[in-house]
């Protein structure tokens, strides 16, 4: 191993206990310095396999860098920096250390050159993200974290089974392109899709993320689903099934976000929707599509964090999260409103924002591959995104019927994080070349053509018109939406309770029946016995033998029945 080269992910994760121990200005300095140091390391590292080693006679490469890994690693470190700035006033001292462990593990995943290292960091991500949810320190967050961990342990077990099968078949642990030609590869594929929040196991995201603290959800939005996008890019690019999985995610997220009343659940479903665009791009599999996927993952992390920062600021200032309880906040929270609007425009792929220069590449890849149906569905989905995140979120939170609330904008550290991400959303939209130079393939794409701009503006303007036409039907009430998590939160739990109750009734009835039969047998034997009854004699060997026989018969019957 090359000892002079530091691992950026390990550096960020190692900062977690230090941040937990430090106090005051030293802690603030460490929160800012750790992700900055990781970004500098990622920028300066050369491409190639930088660390090599052996584990159980298998070759491992814990540190391997290429263009895509550098891009994802940089945006993960940038997200840790912005999230740390936003969370400086978070009183819970567990959250930022847990988030830095989470972010460092995500960087470890994208820099892993082998499946063993990938799995170790994959599971550390589950630990870190669970602790971030737990740090909210509420009963709801604790229960949500347990459900979240349950799903991710299931996904990790599936992934581990797939990796084990792959190593047994090939004798190699190196992470290279895979095809769906064996049960092991299908298991790896399924394990990746769990973290990508692909339905039906996607409800963990909308269930758990909104239960984190006002700052915790910002961290959660960035890492788990985007590491899944990265590993799908690296392992299963060009898999046709991913096109349709991605399109299903796109419309699934739109429908549930339109139905939702909780502002952070709207944005959580929007994550599923946006990751769907990326998954579809991976399925298309061309260089243009993969460039678009990588660029869109980068820009999505920025604008989604900005949207959740604005929502977190509202929650921090008001203590409320339901759209039906909010409105009119632009009067007293102008900075938060402006930043929320920038994020809403970026997620809607409005020209001159980062979303436009990235999402349009995926649509262009579909057009270049003559996938007309896919292109039309992506275009329709773009209009749906504008409905639920571009208009619905800012309108109901900041502009709808005045709620009478007049909270002030959040403290300076929180505003600084929002300003940074709002600037990046606009800067990358105006000048996308710095982003394009980081992409895995050479880019020959011009986003600002008349056709691209006019097509997108038409979609956005007509979907905006549709929103205000149907606005009376979109008025939110204090309701909840049922998702697939109802199956394991309610149905399976109720079935388990019913099963336990039934088992107890049957076991009790059977035990009573055995006891009744035993009493009848004993009565009959005593009635027909000698004057010195068999069971009345103290210490009778025959009596003890009969009792042992009855107990063994009862145990044998219960064993075979249950």
Please write the tens of the pLDDT for every residue from 458-469: 888 888 887 777
Q: Which has the closest alpha carbon to 129: 102, 156, 103, 153?
A: 102
Helices (H), 431-532: 433-436, 450-469, 471-474, 485-486, 492-528
Alpha helical stretches, state H, 5-138:
8-21, 24-44, 67-86, 95-110, 115-134
pLDDT tens figures, 366-391:
999 999 999 999 988 888 888 877 88
Confidence (pLDDT) at 432 = 93
Cα–Cα distance for residue pair 114/384, rounded to 1 Å: 39
State the average pLDDT for the chain: 88
What is the structure's pLDDT at 491? 78
Mean pLDDT of 138-145: 92
Tell which wins on pLDDT, 542 or 288. 288
Q: For residue 77, what are its two tokens?
A: 């470190």
pLDDT(4) > 70: no
**pLDDT for the residue 534:** 46
- Three-point CA angle 69, 152, 281, nearest 5°: 45
pLDDT at 532 over 70: no
DSSP of 213-257, one letter per residue? -TTHHHHHTTSHHHHHHHHHHHHHTT-HHHHHHHHHHHHHHHHHH
The torsion angle over the Cα atoms of residues 229, 231, 237 and 239, rounded to 10 degrees, is -80
CA atoms within 13 A on the CB side of 338: 13
- Does residue 519 carry a pLDDT above 60? yes
Whole-number pLDDT of residue 325: 87
pTM attached to this predicted model: 0.86
pLDDT at res. 405 = 86
Six-digit token string for 188: 């790896």
Residue pair 440/294 in contact by the 8 Å Cβ criterion = yes
pLDDT tens across 211-261, in order? 999 999 999 999 999 999 999 999 999 999 999 999 999 999 998 888 888
CB 150 within 8 A of CB 207: no
Percentage with pLDDT > 70 across the chain: 91
Nearest Cα to Cα of residue 233 among 195, 186, 177, 187: 177
Highest mean predicted confidence (pLDDT) among 68-82, 310-324, 516-530: 68-82
How many other CB atoms sit within 10 Å of the CB of residue 240? 11
Q: 422-435: string of b/e by CB count within 10 Å (b at 16+)?
A: bebbbebbeebeeb
Q: What are phi and psi of 322, to 5 degrees?
A: -85, 135
Mean pLDDT of the 333-337 span: 95
pLDDT at 28: 95
Tokens of 466: 């549709």
Closest CA to 390 of 443, 468, 497, 331: 468
Sign of CA dihedral 472, 475, 480, 486: positive
Q: Tokens at residue 546, please?
A: 């009969």
């Amino acid at each position: 191993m090359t000892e002079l080269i530091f691992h950026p992910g390990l550096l960020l994760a190692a900062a977690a206990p230090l941040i937990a121990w430090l106090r005051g200005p030293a802690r603030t300095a460490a929160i800012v310095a750790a992700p900055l140091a990781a970004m500098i390391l990622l920028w300066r590292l050369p491409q190639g396999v930088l660390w090599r080693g052996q584990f159980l006679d298998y070759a491992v490469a814990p540190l391997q860098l290429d263009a895509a890994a550098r891009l994802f690693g940089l945006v993960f470190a940038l997200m840790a920096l912005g999230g740390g700035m936003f969370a400086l006033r978070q009183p819970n001292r567990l959250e930022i250390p847990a988030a830095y462990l989470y972010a460092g593990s995500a960087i470890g995943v994208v820099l892993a050159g082998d499946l063993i290292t990938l799995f170790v960091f994959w599971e550390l991500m589950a630990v870190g993200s669970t602790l971030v949810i737990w740090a909210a320190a509420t009963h709801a967050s604790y229960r949500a974290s347990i459900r979240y961990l349950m799903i991710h342990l299931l996904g990790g077990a599936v992934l581990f089974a797939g990796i084990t099968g792959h190593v047994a078949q090939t004798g190699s642990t190196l992470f290279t392109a895979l095809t769906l030609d064996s049960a092991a590869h299908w298991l790896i594929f399924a394990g990746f899709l769990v973290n990508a929040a692909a339905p039906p196991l996607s409800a963990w995201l909308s269930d758990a993320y909104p239960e984190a603290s006002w700052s915790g959800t910002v961290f959660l939005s960035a890492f788990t689903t985007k590491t899944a996008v990265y590993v799908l890019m690296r392992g299963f690019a060009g898999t046709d099934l991913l096109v349709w999985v991605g399109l299903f995610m796109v419309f699934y997220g739109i429908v549930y976000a339109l139905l939702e009343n909780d502002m952070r659940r709207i944005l959580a479903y929007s994550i599923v929707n946006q990751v769907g665009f990326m998954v579809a791009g991976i399925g298309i599999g061309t260089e243009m599509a993969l460039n678009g996927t990588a660029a869109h993952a980068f820009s999505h992390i920025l604008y989604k964090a900005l949207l959740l920062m604005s929502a977190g600021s509202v929650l921090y200032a008001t203590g409320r999260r339901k759209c039906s309880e909010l409105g009119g906040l632009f009067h007293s929270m102008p900075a938060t409103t402006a930043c929320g609007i920038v994020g809403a425009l970026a997620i809607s792929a409005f020209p001159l924002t980062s979303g436009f220069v990235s999402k349009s590449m995926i649509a262009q890849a579909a057009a270049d591959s003559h996938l007309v149906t896919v292109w039309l569905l992506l275009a329709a989905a773009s209009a749906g995104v504008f409905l639920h995140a571009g208009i619905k979120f800012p309108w109901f939170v900041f502009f709808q019927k005045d709620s009478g609330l007049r909270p002030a904008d959040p403290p300076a550290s929180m505003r600084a994080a929002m300003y940074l991400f709002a600037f990046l959303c606009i800067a990358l939209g105006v000048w996308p070349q710095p982003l394009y130079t980081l992409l895995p393939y050479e880019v020959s794409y011009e986003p600002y053509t008349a056709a691209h701009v006019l097509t997108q503006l038409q979609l956005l303007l007509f979907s905006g018109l549709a929103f205000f036409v149907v606005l009376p039907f979109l008025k939110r009430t204090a309701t909840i939406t049922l998702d697939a998590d109802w199956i394991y939160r309610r149905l399976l739990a109720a079935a388990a309770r019913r099963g336990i109750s039934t088992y107890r009734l049957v076991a009790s009835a059977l035990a009573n029946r055995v006891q009744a039969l035993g009493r009848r047998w004993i009565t009959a034997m005593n009635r027909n016995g000698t004057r010195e009854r068999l069971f009345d004699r103290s210490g009778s060997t025959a009596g003890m033998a009969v009792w042992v026989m009855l107990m063994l018969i009862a145990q044998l019957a219960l064993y075979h029945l249950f």
